[in-house]
Amino acid sequence: MLKLFFLFTALLSSVCFAQEREIAITMDDLPLVASRMNTPANKQRSTERFMQIVQAFQKYNVPVTGFVIAGAIEKGQWEFLEQFRQAGFMLGNHTYSHYNLNQMSAEKYIADIERADKILAPILTTPKYFRYPYLAEGNKTTKLKVREYLSAHQYTVAPVTIDSKDFAFNEMTYKVPYRSRVEYIQKLKPRYLAYIWKQTLLAEKRASGKNGKQILLIHANILNSYLLGDILEMYKKNGYKFISLTEALADPAPEISFPAVKKDLGTKIEDELLNIPAQ
C-alpha cells in the first residue's frame, strides 16, 4: 500500500497543465447503489451515505448531474432525490431497469425509458439528460431508433470522457466483512484515486491539446460516499474548475463508450494501475 501511495503522489506531480482545465462531474445509479430502507438501521446508513455525497458536492461547489434508475427508488428514497435537486443539482433519466441495450430490442429499451420518464417527470431538471446504462448504445439499428426516440422527447445524451470504473473498486469493498469496510475503503483510496487520475491523463491525451471539457462518470455508491471529497480535492489541486454538464457539452473532449460492463475487472484494474508510469 505504501508503494501505491508513492505511485499516486508521483502521478499527481507528473503533470502540470498550462491553463485551467474544466470538468463536469456526473453521477450514475442514483438514489444509492445497493442501499436498503427496510429497517431503521439500514435507513439511517443509507441516509448518511447519501448525505455525505450531497455535502461533498456542496463543499466543492460542484454543479453535478445525477442519473436516476427509476426502478431502484425504494420507499423513503424519493426524498433523497428531492434533497439532491433542492441542493441545486441536476437529475437525468438512467432508465427504469438499467438494461443493457446491447442485449435487447430497441422497442423494449424505449419502453423502459418511457416507464422511467413517467415516474421521474416531477423530479427531472431541464435540459433533460439521458445516460445509457453501461454506456451501451446497441448496434447501428437499435442505436438509431433509441436516439430518434430520445431526440423526439427532448432528451440529450450525456457522454463520458473519463470513466472511473468505480463499480469494480466498489465491488472490492463487498469482499470484506461489513464492519471492516470503512477501514478497507481508506486502504483502497490511493489505488482508486491513482486510477481515476490515470484515466484523466488518458482523456487529456485523447483531447490532443484542444482543451476540450472533460466529463467524469462516477456512481452513487458506498465507495464514493466516503471518497468523493478526495476525488474533488484531487481535481481542485490539479487546477480543474468544476462546470455543469451543459457547459461541458458546449465544447466536450472526445467521448468514450463501452459496449458492456465486463465482470471480474478488479484484477485487471489492479494490473493496469501497477503499470502506470511514474514519470
**Domain map of the chain by residue range?**
2-274
pLDDT (0 to 100) of residue 261: 41
Kindly indicate the confidence band of residue 67, based on its pLDDT and cuts at 50, 70 and 90: very high
Q: Are 157 and 147 in contact (CB under 8 A)?
A: yes
Which CATH number does the domain 2-274 belong to among 3.20.20.370, 3.30.465.10, 3.40.50.40, 2.40.160.60? Answer: 3.20.20.370
pLDDT (0 to 100) of residue 210: 73
Of the listed ranges 33-42, 54-63, 214-223, the least confidently predicted one is 33-42
| Bond from prior residue into 31 cis (ω within 30 degrees of 0) | yes
- Average pLDDT of the segment spanning 92-96: 99
Say if residue 64's pLDDT is above 90: yes
Single out the residue of 243, 158, 221, 227 nearest to residue 195, CA to CA.
227
pLDDT (0 to 100) of residue 178: 86
3-state helix, strand, coil in the chain (%, to 5): 50, 15, 35
